[in-house]
Amino acid sequence: MSIRVSRDSGRTWSPSTRVLEGDPFDILSNPGRYPPCECPRCGGTASSVRALQPASIAPGSA
């Protein structure tokens, strides 16, 4: 598998990274955590995509 990451909405891309089964990368066991988030909210820690769900807001409460 080859991976290229854009952190600016596709304007620029990182170099390709080749990942093979057996490589010491966590991304094959949990691809939802790659690449690690670098936004101020996450502070550079890896976060699962499933953890980033929209909050429920009751109608009329906003």
How would you write the pLDDT of the chain (62 residues) with one tens digit per residue?
777 878 788 888 888 877 777 776 655 566 666 666 667 776 655 555 545 555 566 666 55
Spatial CB neighbours of 50, under 8 Å, sequence gap ≥ 6: 32
Distance CA 62, CA 45 (A): 30
Helix, strand or coil, per DSSP, at residue 59: coil
Q: What pLDDT is stored for residue 13 in this prediction?
A: 86
CA 43/CA 35 separation, integer angstroms? 13
ω into residue 35 within 30 of 0, thus cis? yes
pLDDT at res. 26 = 59
Entry pTM: 0.32
